[in-house]
Amino acid sequence: MKTITVKIPEALEEKLRNKAKAANQPVSEIVRRALMREMDADAVDFSKLAAPYRGMFSGPSDLSTREGYGSRESR
């Protein structure tokens, strides 16, 4: 694992130490989890982007059920 140094305000450091103590975990583990949550929050979630359009379109939910799909006549 790599080591980094981060400067934080005293109030945040106190909150961090209290949280680590309450969870009976090292401070570094609390910080790693917080960083991972922040990094994951930046990932694009297609289902959230598409949610407003759900149900707008008609047709079979599974194209493989459509008759003639993939046949030479439909091309």
pLDDT tens for 40-69 read 877 777 888 888 888 777 776 676 666 665
Which run of H or of E encompasses 19? helix 10-23
Q: Give the mean pLDDT of 22-26.
A: 97
pLDDT band at 74 (very low <50, low <70, confident <90, very high): low
pLDDT of residue 35: 92
User: According to the model, what pLDDT value does residue 42 have?
Assistant: 73
The pLDDT value recorded for residue 53 is: 85
Q: Which residues, 6+ apart, have CB-to-CB distance to 2 below 8 Å?
A: none
